Amino acid sequence: MISFQVKDINSQFQKIEIPDYINLSLMEVLKAWDYPIAATCRGIAQCATCHVVVLQGLDQLPEAGDNEIDTLDLLPDSDYKSRLACQIKATQQLNGCIFEIKGNRSLICGTHLVSPQ
């Protein structure tokens, strides 16, 4: 079993447990748990609507790739703990991690940053 926590936009923490044989990204898991992630680019690291901050466990995750870093660099609120949930595979490496959802606070459409209504 894979177990991690999510801090939502209302600052509430929820423990999520998923089978360890699941073949999904963190973004897909969060969407399945009804978190408000637009996933506009469908998981190819282009829109940043799945932006999360790793509050705990960053050192357990694989490093971000170039496309992910390029997209995160366009966000005004990203920092070294920022990741795109679409680029994180749901594996045992997520055990004990805590993520904060940021994605719907700022959206990227093409190369333009747009604030949600």
Q: What is the pLDDT of residues 43-76, one digit of tens each?
A: 899 999 999 999 999 999 999 999 999 999 999 9
Instruction: Tell me if 116 is assigned to some domain.
Output: no
- Residue 104: its pLDDT value, please? 62
- Helices marked H in the chain: 26-32, 66-72
Instruction: Tell me if 24 is assigned to some domain.
Output: yes
Instruction: Tell me if 62 is assigned to some domain.
Output: yes
Please compute, for residue 38, the number of CA atoms within 13 A of its CA located in the half-sphere on the CB side. Answer: 17
Instruction: Tell me if 114 is assigned to some domain.
Output: no
Instruction: Tell me if 115 is assigned to some domain.
Output: no
List the CATH number of the domain containing 90: 3.10.20.30
pLDDT greater than 70 at residue 116: no
Instruction: Tell me if 42 is assigned to some domain.
Output: yes
Domain count along the chain? 1
pLDDT greater than 70 at residue 114: no
CB neighbourhood size of 82 (10 A): 22
Percentage of residues in the chain with pLDDT exceeding 90? 71
Its domain, for residue 101, covers 2-109
The pTM (predicted TM-score) of the whole model is 0.86
